[in-house]
Amino acid sequence: GAGVSQSPSNKVTEKGKDVELRCDPISGHTALYWYRQSLGQGLEFLIYFQGNSAPDKSGLPSDRFSAERTGGSVSTLTIQRTQQEDSAVYLCASRPTGQGYNSPLHFGNGTRLTVT
Amino acid sequence: AQRVTQPEKLLSVFKGAPVELKCNYSYSGSPELFWYVQYSRQRLQLLLRHISRESIKGFTADLNKGETSFHLKKPFAQEEDSAMYYCALMNNAGNMLTFGGGTRLMVKP
């Protein structure tokens, strides 16, 4: 079946603009995760959704970052007033939660964000 | 807090040589550990998980709770194993998968 889909695959924006990144998880996967992968850095956890709920937003780097998920499916990550340090690959992953916490995450291809 | 450490950023070996990618973790609960791999221009994907005790593409990893390690091993490296490898730990709540910094494995012919 279809995997996790992210759009756009690449986004170039000017500093100060807002951007919206989209993630379509695998159908039926209730858990959804956002990560940021910066050049030379590992994967930084941003936020987790169980259904539409994100109980812990403390991983978001600043209040310019927000995320939502509607209908238990599509999620959007919004970055307001982008800064150059926001340039990174933003990865989305999903997994089914009925199989225990050892079920693996399925990742999308990511959105490469470049802030000029 | 949970933490995963991969001490080597780059590991370069010749084809046919043994490989060991190190991973150490810190977690107060019962850890669920994974190895993910990212080949060039491909998405991050699961390689293996500790609970399955399986060998995938010749790779194995044993959880050593005494040493808090989950090193990835392969007896004979192949050129197609060249990739970025990430060790990861899932907390017991299932709401956070923490990754190590990754190790780039280069297998030379």
Residues 6+ apart with CB under 8 A from B16: B76, B77
Q: What percent of chain A has pLDDT over 90?
A: 69
Backbone conformation region of residue B102, classed left if phi is above 0, alpha if psi is from -120 to 50, else beta? left
* Non-local CB neighbours of A53 within 8 Å, separated by 6+ positions: none
Q: Does the beta carbon of B93 lie under 8 angstroms from any beta carbon of chain A?
A: yes
Give the phi and the psi of residue B79 in degrees, each rounded to 5. Answer: -60, -35
DSSP structural state of residue A19: E
B94 closest CB neighbour out of A35, A56, A101: A101
Partner-chain residue, chosen from A43, A50, A104, that has the shortest CB–CB distance to B95: A50
Confidence of residue A60 (pLDDT cuts 50, 70, 90): very high
For B31-45, write each residue's pLDDT tens digit.
899 999 999 989 999
Q: What is the mean pLDDT of each successive set of 10 residues along chain B, which is 109 residues long?
A: 94 97 94 93 91 85 93 96 96 88 96
* The pair of three-digit structure tokens given for residue B67, joined into one six-digit string: 């040493």
**Which residues on B lie below 8 Å from A43 (Cβ)?**
44, 86, 99, 102
CA distance B50 to chain A (A): 9
